[in-house]
Amino acid sequence: MFERRLKVLLGVLGFVMLVILVRLVELQLVHGSYYRQQTARNLLRDPVTLPFVRGSILDRTGERLVYDAPCWDIRVDYSLFALHEPRYLNKHVKEWRRRHRSQHAATNQEVEEAVFTEVEQMWHDLAAFAARVSPVTEEELRARGQEIHDQVERVRKKVADRNGFEMDVAEERMAHTILEGLDQRTQVAAQEYLRRYLQMDVDPHSGRAWMHIEPAKTRAFAPHAEPFAHILGRMGAVSADDLADDPNEDDPLARYRANDRRGILGVEYTAERTLRGRRGRILKDDEGVVVEDEPAVDGQDAALTISAELQRRLYDLMADELRRIPLASGGVIVVLDVATREILALVSFPAYDPAEFNELYPALRDDTERLPLRFRAVANQYPPGSIMKPLVCLCGLNSGLITVETEQTCTGYLFEDVRDRWRCWRVHGTDTRKAHGQVNVIKALRESCNVFMYRLGEDLGIDTLTSAFDMVGIGRRTGTGLPEEVKGINPTPGYLAERLNRPVTRAHARLFAVGQGELSLTPIQVANLVATYANGKWREAKLIHPEQEPPEWILPGRPEHWAAIRQGLYEVVNDPTGTAHATACFMHPRYVLCGKTGSATAHPRPTSYRIPYVDVNGVPGEAIVPAGSQNDAKERFTREFPSATFELAEVEKASTWPPGPPPPEEGEHHAHAWFAGFLQAADGNHQPIWSEEPRVAFTVLVEFGGSGGRVSGPIAQKIASVILEIFGEDLNL
- Measured CA to CA in angstroms, residue 281 lies from 44, 48, 194, 262, 290 at distances of 13, 6, 29, 20, 11
Q: Is the pLDDT of residue 79 over 60?
A: yes
Task: Return the bridge partners of 688, or none.
Answer: 682
Query: What residues have CB less than 8 Å from 110, skipping those under 6 apart?
Result: none
pLDDT tens digits for range 649-671? 899 999 999 998 888 777 778 99
How confident is residue 29, by pLDDT bands cut at 50, 70 and 90? low
Res. 513 pLDDT band, cuts 50 70 90: very high
Q: What is the DSSP string of 287-298?
A: TS-EEEEE--BP
For residue 61, give Cα distances in angstroms to 310, 437, 481: 12, 51, 21
Whether the pLDDT of residue 9 is over 70: the answer is: no
Mean pLDDT computed over 585-607? 93
Residues 431-480 have pLDDT tens digits of 667 788 899 999 999 999 999 999 999 999 999 999 999 999 999 999 99
Residue 92 scores a pLDDT above 80:
yes
> Percentage of the chain with pLDDT > 70?
92
Q: Taken in order 299, 300, 301, 305, is the CA torsion positive or negative?
A: negative
What's the pLDDT tens digit per position in 320-358?
999 999 999 999 999 999 999 999 999 999 999 999 998
**Does residue 379 register a pLDDT over 90?**
yes
pLDDT at 43 over 70: no
Predicted local confidence at residue 121, as pLDDT: 94
- Please give the pLDDT value at position 416: 78
> Could you tell me which residue, 205 or 388, shows the higher pLDDT?
388
Lowest mean pLDDT among 140-154, 159-173, 563-577: 159-173
Give residue 429's pLDDT.
64
Q: Which of 80-94, 281-295, 369-383 has the highest mean pLDDT?
A: 369-383
Cβ distance 472 to 484 under 8 Å?
Answer: no
pLDDT at res. 45: 59
- Which pLDDT belongs to residue 425? 67
The average confidence (pLDDT) of the chain is: 89
Mean pLDDT, rounded, for 104-129: 90
Tell me the mean pLDDT in the region 156-166.
80
pLDDT tens, position by position, 389-446: 999 999 999 999 999 999 999 998 888 777 778 888 677 666 667 788 899 999 999 9
Average of pLDDT values for 55-74? 95
Q: Is the dihedral of CA 161, 166, 170, 172 positive or negative?
A: positive
**pLDDT for the residue numbered 246:** 85
**Rounded average pLDDT over 6-19:** 68
Specify the higher pLDDT residue, 386 or 285.
Answer: 386
Cis check: omega of the bond before 47, within 30 degrees of 0: no
Confidence label for 24 from pLDDT (cuts 50, 70 and 90): low
Q: Which of 551, 379, 335 is nearest to 482 (CA)?
A: 379
Structure confidence at residue 689 as a pLDDT band (50, 70, 90)? very high
Q: Is the pLDDT of residue 25 over 70?
A: no
Q: How confident is the model at residue 152 (pLDDT cuts 50, 70, 90)?
A: confident
Cα(42)–Cα(40) distance, integer angstroms: 5
pLDDT-derived band at 547, boundaries 50, 70, 90: low
